[in-house]
Structure 1
């Protein structure tokens, strides 16, 4: 145990992964005096989730007027489009609670935390037999960890949502002192791994060791995961590391792969239960509809592995407000010379061809515009019903059987495509009715869009003022400066640092300023301010000090006015 703790203290963490612990006061009493909880960001609001989730790529007017081959590349920006939906808020609330409540019984200042580590160390001494009685030895230690399962069709956005939510938390936090006392510990807030395709428990353990090595620079895979190490021993070391580093939540994606392993399926499910109920680490299991077999069979016996319930993530319904807002927002990101208005007919056909599946909708929208760009017969460059149908038929040909099964509610056919099947039982259908797009969330979304536009205009205005105030771009007028600023702002993501934006604007302004000077005939320069060399020569010729001539021509500022 001492060796493991020493390893924790002296660990070298890549500088871009580490965050020094900053302890915050807690609104809830049960979260106080726990450094693992106090070092987390404050509990997020809906506005925080909106700010973090919304990715609305900008396509400027200049982009739309570019060459076809350039616009083909610009269209790929749409792939990063993310629209906040009601289910994102639900998942965020669950995840936020899972992490914090999981730490309640794992307070590193509490003696039970050290007791858990001590017992795990003792179990490792008898690593060949320990897996048989690990639960009995640790069972008396309290656990507050819950687990959550997220089940949904492929392409609906489960993994994207979880990853964006996890990134709202620092992954690694380094503690040094807490309340003026030495507290040297490394905390891993979250860890995400994929369930191996063959459902192998051994491969899962190795993925766990590698994930820790990747973020901490350790060598646990080499030390604990060598090829002839038995699985039960690796599981023991896995639980030790999870406890030692205070892992806030373990996310395991592609859980449906577990169905491919008949021999280790039950052992892995039991391990998830042990990890949650005994070691105290919350787990989130993510999978496609195929994973429902686990819930209905062995997984029902181990239902504690989903103690915080399950979220069934279905496609958006045609008449729902969430689909309406999703499509309206997506539809505005066009790269065609003529903007196509979203008519009721277009909306109907678009839904028919994507069936409310997020990934299919985004790809269909991109591919339809590509179809228009390279169609010589489409002079107007507009998205039409025929374009949508042709794009779906040709470019989405491989998934047409699946889409047809969903479109026709053909349950028999859906069973052939388990990854797309979600409405298997009444529980899921009832749950779907509960996920309505609340009016306040929709209003907040629209307000957010307006706020983004306001922030953009305010940003452009301030940058224009700053650029003009430099006084060095004498060949540029206010329209030139505004054009440069708008172009740079619109072609950079909103999260780019302001200093980088300013640098690019100044560089562009210098280039345009020089270009205008070079294009201007000499006779047009007579009315402008004389260059410094000409002023100097004129002063010397008249036996005057150059300072007087510089002052006369407006190159010398009054220091009192300048600084006060």
Structure 2
């Protein structure tokens, strides 16, 4: 176990202890050998899992105390397959990024020294890498709001020491402070300068340095700050820069920030970008950006479908009941809770907590289907439009809320259109053959409805003809349009 030490500013760090890895390339780099060993799935689950305090006898305590005991469920963390994927992504980013940044490598030391001189002489060129071949990359973690993206990243990072102190490596003096990871939040105003200032402030807060005073007090421009950030990151051995809430990056200023991300990767700094589906549009503008910013892993985490994953989460929560009467889990409970939460993990926990609190306060002291429905109706009042949109599966309704857009469905449609486009020349070549076949033997006429996808409006209109319904009636029934009569009545008033 690493020895804990305290920096002069009072922040906690660990003393470097070097481990041997089965991979030869890892065993020549102190920045890698000081990191925790790699773990298998079972060990990762044990590291990530958080169980709340729970004792069977607590259900006999007074209700006023049990209302607070139920809140312990907000501390529960149950690892799912996607969380193991995130763990592996974070560790891979850090390890691979350090490969080209060996402080004992002559070429790397030359690159750092020459970059430093150019910054001092103000002759540094952002696009020049001086023959430095980076091994850094970027990972993206995008998913529904409420699915625990930030919590997952924090759980993974909490198992990696943030600050490591080096003194000696293999008998050689090696005085180095290693900042393994740093987490920032994307500024809501899409200001690159705000992001740069946040970087300097966080580094100073953790390490007790004075970068903010040194560089910001001079009223330096953003262009002048970029090489300084890269140089500081190399000097402190920064392994991973995590940027959360990337959906805050709006159109104005987005290109500048995205170029900054690409610049950091090119100069050897690893990135991990986290956000809701609203951030996904940032990655599709240019191949240069997309290739770099999705270079290591692209994890998409939508709401859970009703199935094994959802049932596993709910069953892991279900055993924590502070009501006097314990109710066993069954599929009916699972279906109702899924219907009321649509597989959003944050809402699953909240509904289970609020339902228990309602059962305790009302004196019923047990969970029932009606109780859960009642609590969901009262507590999720503001969320109902979004939940209704998810339930409907209607792209028109879902598009109103960026946080609940299902990304892979859009990606599948894009891929499908691309495949059709690629196949078009082949089809043209076969037109004459097809026409000849049709002359010989005409196929049975298909109904137009079979030719269209169920999400195609033409499918609905054809269905309306068969059911003798007007186009307006069909579109109204499927939720594509609203009843205009209420607007007319309001106007008359």
Structure 2 unmatched ranges of 5 or more: 1-5, 416-493
Return the alpha-carbon distance in structure 2 between the equivalents of residues 36 and 419 of structure 1: 38
State whether residues 108 and 132 of structure 2, in contact with CA within 8 Å, keep that contact through their aligned partners in structure 1. Answer: no
1:269/1:299 Cα in 2 relative to 1: closer, same or farther (>3 Å)?
farther
TM-score (norm 1): 0.70
1:77 corresponds to: 72
Deviation string, structure 1 residues 171-202 (Cα, Å, up to 9, x no partner): 11111001111011111111111111111111
1:286/1:429 Cα in 2 relative to 1: closer, same or farther (>3 Å)?
farther
2:296 corresponds to: 308
- Give the secondary-structure state (helix, strand or coil) at the position aligned to 2:92: helix
- Indicate whether 1:242 and 2:226 are aligned: no
Return the alpha-carbon distance in structure 2 between the equivalents of residues 250 and 305 of structure 1: 13
Instruction: Select the residue among 127, 138, 152 that pairs with 1:135.
Output: 127
2:219 corresponds to: 228
- Indicate whether 1:276 and 2:268 are aligned: no
Return the alpha-carbon distance in structure 2 between the equivalents of residues 335 and 95 of structure 1: 37
- Indicate whether 1:218 and 2:205 are aligned: no
State whether residues 422 and 428 of structure 1, in contact with CA within 8 Å, keep that contact through their aligned partners in structure 2. Answer: no
Post-superposition offset of 1:246: 1.2
- Give the secondary-structure state (helix, strand or coil) at the position aligned to 2:382: helix
Q: CA RMSD in A?
A: 2.1
- Indicate whether 1:154 and 2:149 are aligned: no
Post-superposition offset of 1:15: 5.4
State whether residues 289 and 422 of structure 1, in contact with CA within 8 Å, keep that contact through their aligned partners in structure 2. Answer: yes
Deviation string, structure 1 residues 9-32 (Cα, Å, up to 9, x no partner): xx9455552111100111101111
Return the alpha-carbon distance in structure 1 between the equivalents of residues 408 and 89 of structure 2: 24
Deviation string, structure 1 residues 303-351 (Cα, Å, up to 9, x no partner): 31221131111121102x2211111010111110011111221111001
State whether residues 11 and 206 of structure 2, in contact with CA within 8 Å, keep that contact through their aligned partners in structure 1. Answer: no
State whether residues 205 and 225 of structure 1, in contact with CA within 8 Å, keep that contact through their aligned partners in structure 2. Answer: no
- Indicate whether 1:399 and 2:391 are aligned: no
1:53 corresponds to: 48
2:394 corresponds to: 410
2:351 corresponds to: 364
1:139/1:356 Cα in 2 relative to 1: closer, same or farther (>3 Å)?
farther
Instruction: Select the residue among 309, 332, 354 that pairs with 1:345.
Output: 332
Deviation string, structure 1 residues 233-260 (Cα, Å, up to 9, x no partner): 222211111111111111100111112x
State whether residues 31 and 38 of structure 1, in contact with CA within 8 Å, keep that contact through their aligned partners in structure 2. Answer: yes
Return the alpha-carbon distance in structure 2 between the equivalents of residues 349 and 428 of structure 1: 30
Return the alpha-carbon distance in structure 1 between the equivalents of residues 186 and 49 of structure 2: 28
State whether residues 340 and 373 of structure 2, in contact with CA within 8 Å, keep that contact through their aligned partners in structure 1. Answer: yes
- Give the secondary-structure state (helix, strand or coil) at the position aligned to 2:388: helix
TM-score (norm 2): 0.79
2:366 corresponds to: 382
Post-superposition offset of 1:412: 1.2
Post-superposition offset of 1:421: 1.6
Residue correspondence of structure 1 range 116-195 to structure 2 within 5 A? 116-127=111-122, 130=124, 133-136=125-128, 138-195=129-186
State whether residues 57 and 81 of structure 1, in contact with CA within 8 Å, keep that contact through their aligned partners in structure 2. Answer: yes
Return the alpha-carbon distance in structure 2 between the equivalents of residues 46 and 162 of structure 1: 17
Post-superposition offset of 1:426: 4.6
State whether residues 172 and 187 of structure 1, in contact with CA within 8 Å, keep that contact through their aligned partners in structure 2. Answer: yes
State whether residues 283 and 293 of structure 2, in contact with CA within 8 Å, keep that contact through their aligned partners in structure 1. Answer: no
State whether residues 193 and 222 of structure 2, in contact with CA within 8 Å, keep that contact through their aligned partners in structure 1. Answer: yes
Post-superposition offset of 1:420: 1.9
Instruction: Select the residue among 403, 425, 434 that pairs with 1:419.
Output: 403
Return the alpha-carbon distance in structure 2 between the equivalents of residues 220 and 134 of structure 1: 20
1:199 corresponds to: 190
Structure number with bigger Rg: 1
Deviation string, structure 1 residues 15-59 (Cα, Å, up to 9, x no partner): 552111100111101111110001111112212211111112132
Deviation string, structure 1 residues 378-437 (Cα, Å, up to 9, x no partner): 2xx111111111111111111111111111112111111101222463537999xxxxxx
The runs of 4+ residues in structure 1 deviating greater than 6 Å are 428-431
2:256 corresponds to: 267
State whether residues 41 and 169 of structure 1, in contact with CA within 8 Å, keep that contact through their aligned partners in structure 2. Answer: yes
- Give the secondary-structure state (helix, strand or coil) at the position aligned to 1:150: strand
Return the alpha-carbon distance in structure 1 between the equivalents of residues 222 and 94 of structure 2: 27
2:311 corresponds to: 324
- Give the secondary-structure state (helix, strand or coil) at the position aligned to 2:25: helix
Structure 1 unmatched ranges of 5 or more: 1-10, 432-564
